Chains A and B, each alone.
Chain A
Amino acid sequence: MSLGDELRYLRALHGGGNLMGIEDEIGLTPGALRYMEQRYRRVGEDEEVLSKIAAYYDVPLEKLQWHRERYRKALSAYLHQAMEFGTTARFELRTGETLTGRVRWWDLGAFGLETGDDDPLTVVQRHAVLDWEGSINNEAMNKRDS
Chain B
Amino acid sequence: MPEDLRKIRERKGMSINQLASRSGIPLARLIQYEKGAEEIPYTELSRLAKSLYVEEWDINPRSTPPPRKEQPTRPSKPKKPPQKEKKPRPKSPPAREAQITHILKLAARFDIDREALETEIGKPLEELTQKEARFWNNHFNERIIKEKPPKHPIDRKRSYLPEGVDGFELAYLQEQQDANATLHFTLFDGQAFEGTVIGFSPYQIIIREPGGDEITLNKLALAYYRKAGGEA
Residues on A close to B: CB < 8 A? 8-9, 12, 40, 72-73, 76, 93-95, 97, 99, 105-112, 115, 119-125, 127-128
Are B166 and A123 neighbours in the complex by a CB distance under 8 Å?
no
Instruction: Determine the chain A residues whose CB is within 8 A of the CB of B167 once the complex forms.
Output: 107
Docked CA distance A93–B190 (Å): 11
Docked CA distance A111–B167 (Å): 11
What 0/1 pattern do residues 170 to 207 of B give for CB contact below 8 A with A? 00100000000000001010100000000000100000
Docked CA distance A5–B99 (Å): 50
Residue of A nearest to B188 (CB): A94
Are B188 and A123 neighbours in the complex by a CB distance under 8 Å?
no
Beyond known contacts A94-B188, A108-B164, A124-B223: 9 more, CB 8 A cutoff: A12-B220, A76-B163, A107-B169, A110-B168, A121-B226, A123-B224, A123-B226, A125-B224, A128-B188
A-B pairs, 8 with minimum CB distance: A120-B227, A108-B166, A128-B223, A105-B168, A107-B168, A110-B169, A124-B224, A122-B226
Closest-CB distance, B225 to chain A (whole angstroms): 5
Interface centre among B162, B163, B224 (most CB of A within 10 A): B224
Closest-CB distance, A4 to chain B (whole angstroms): 12
Are A106 and B168 neighbours in the complex by a CB distance under 8 Å?
yes
Are A122 and B223 neighbours in the complex by a CB distance under 8 Å?
no
Closest-CB distance, A75 to chain B (whole angstroms): 10
What 0/1 pattern do residues 198 to 232 of B give for CB contact below 8 A with A? 00001000000000000000011011111101111
B contact face: mostly helix, strand, loop, or mixed: mixed
B165 located at the interface, meaning its Cβ lies under 8 Å from any Cβ of chain A in the complex? yes
Instruction: Determine the chain A residues whose CB is within 8 A of the CB of B168 once the complex forms.
Output: 105-107, 110-112
Interface size class of B (residues with CB under 8 A): 20 to 34
Are A107 and B222 neighbours in the complex by a CB distance under 8 Å?
no
Docked CA distance A97–B225 (Å): 13
Are B162 and A128 neighbours in the complex by a CB distance under 8 Å?
no
Are A108 and B165 neighbours in the complex by a CB distance under 8 Å?
yes
Docked CA distance A124–B222 (Å): 8
Are A106 and B162 neighbours in the complex by a CB distance under 8 Å?
yes
Docked CA distance A35–B212 (Å): 41
Residue of A nearest to B162 (CB): A107
Are B224 and A109 neighbours in the complex by a CB distance under 8 Å?
no
Docked CA distance A122–B223 (Å): 10
Instruction: Determine the chain B residues whose CB is within 8 A of the CB of A76 once the complex forms.
Output: 163
